[in-house]
Chain A
Amino acid sequence: MHFSRKNLGIPYAVFLAVFVVAPLVVLLFYAFTNGQGQFTMENLTGFFTDPNALGTLFYSLLIAVVTTAVCLLIAYPTAYLLATSKLKNRTVIVMLFVMPMWINFSLRITALKEILTILEGNLAMHPFLNAVIGMTYDFLPFMILPIYTTISKLDGALREAAMDLGADRTRTFLEITLPLSLPGILSGVSMVFLPAMTNYVVLDMLYNSTYIMGSLIGSYFAAYNWHGGSMIALVLLCMICIFTLLTGGEDETARGGALL
């Protein structure tokens, strides 16, 4: 057979079709069928009429919004200070902020749990607070990194020009730096918001027994209810699509950008 470079892509294209596209098609099929394989809208209407399921949706959104806001409040100043500092070994210091994401998250949450137990006594007393603390602790580096990357790539001349034209530091920041760092913020937000809606293990480990969207899939999985679980997965998938379109797509390097 004649060798051609573009044929190299065939195995990967097949792989994507089998393990990315096909599972989603099957998910769609299961979400709209019942145990007998007949078409049904019950899973869909069931989700949107069940107050518990809607409560779960609301609770996940609440946790995700609060976690994202807290992460942003800590990460933006951190990234800004790092990017504008004149530190000699800046890459080393930035690496320090990113390094935690290479330590297994379950071990980090175990460590956090020990600290929180000392501070609070009974963890079950503050479920919401602990969920937000746990997720912030877990996801913070993912918010710092993309914002840092964006700010450090900004052209310093723009800031100087604004100052030369008479803007004070606050105004320069509000009208130059902040708007220009928006892509980094958006990519950081998408790195934190979606996991915060689905990572139910953080809640489980910190004794928060309230369900979020991810826990619903987990409970259907444990009960072998593939149809119900598929519908939840589909709802999540739609939200992810909308969210990705709103934030202009995830920055492809964000999840492991430090390595690149």
Chain B
Amino acid sequence: MKRSLRGLFLVLVLLILYLPILILVVYSFTTSTQIGAIRGFSLHNYVTLFTTPELRDMITGTLALALGSAVIATVLGTMGAIGAFYSSRRTGAVISTVNQIPVVNADVVTGFSICILLVVVFHISKDSYIPLVAGHVTLCAPFVFLSVMPRIRQMDPSIYEAALDLGATPFDALMQIVIPQIVPGIISGFALAITLSLDDYFIATYTKPAMFDTISTYVVNATKGSQTTIKTALWALSTVIFVIVVLIVIGMNLRSIRQERAEKTGRRLHV
């Protein structure tokens, strides 16, 4: 295939992926209430977004839930991965298999089953946030487990042994030898947990308190109604999230480019 044709195809796919969001970005800065004719420039959507208590609450609520669940999921998943790796082969295999269930399962089923167990069988009130947090940790922790596990496998076991031989307690050796080596896995697991929690709709719907909304549940309900001020304020929210994601991606790329450069110059020094 010709190079220009290849490029054209890729650009076309990118266009499909980004056009809807970019159009919303443009319209979020106008007074228009519908996509179509552009009217005057305005920031009123952003003012509404950050001053309407209902919108502010759902944004902070979503972030708090994502952070909280991600922290719990990261601690649990990391400990689980270390424990499973050093357990007998059979125990490790059982943990890894059960760990895989929420990963392949449909979120609808995960959310519904947790709701039945906690709310219907054990009568735990949804207003306690326990079912919601439990649901999100169940969604996220298996992915932390999966991103930490390869790092543990790559570790050189003799360093840990050496630490013990030199008099470190097993706990100190764990904190000072094992954990530092698997930090990249822990960090990417944490980041993954955050994105999974932020994007979730189904588990939240089945487990959340009636008066609490995440971005997903709020947006889905808001699109059923036809309140235009809320609708256009959500365009502003899309823009803000889009910009944040772009900044994060740029940051990640800059970091990896810098690392590459550092590696190259490092190699040259060695030679």
Contacts and interface: CB of A to CB of B under 8 A. Distances in A.
Given A78-B10, A233-B113, A4 B234 contact: no
Given A13-B95, A81-B6, A100-B17, A19 B114 contact: yes
B10 A107 contact: no
A44 interface: no
B17 A141 contact: yes
B188 A237 contact: no
Interface stretch (B48-56, B116-124, B262-270): B116-124
Residue of B6, B109, B198 most packed against chain A (CB within 10 A): B109
10 closest Cβ contacts across the A-B interface? A9-B83, A12-B80, A23-B113, A111-B20, A106-B219, A8-B83, A256-B192, A198-B106, A5-B86, A6-B86
Contacts of B147: 253, 259-260
A138 to B, nearest CB: 10
Interface string B67-86: 00000000011011011101
Interface residues of B, number: 90
Contacts, number: 256
Interface in B187-236: 188, 191-192, 195-196, 198-199, 201-202, 205-206, 215-216, 219-220, 223-224, 234
B107 A198 contact: yes
Nearest to A118: B35
A102 B245 contact: yes
B207 to A, nearest CB: 11
Interface residues of A, number: 86
A3 B215 contact: no
28 contacts: A5-B86, A12-B79, A12-B83, A13-B80, A20-B102, A27-B109, A91-B253, A97-B14, A97-B17, A99-B245, A102-B199, A103-B238, A105-B199, A110-B219, A110-B238, A111-B238, A112-B20, A115-B19, A137-B20, A198-B108, A198-B202, A201-B202, A217-B108, A233-B108, A240-B106, A249-B100, A252-B146, A260-B147
Contacts of A102: 195, 199, 245, 248
A62 interface: no
B83 A82 contact: no
A96 interface: yes
B38 interface: no
Given A198-B106, A237-B105, A99 B249 contact: yes
Contact of B188 (A93, A100, A236, A259): A259
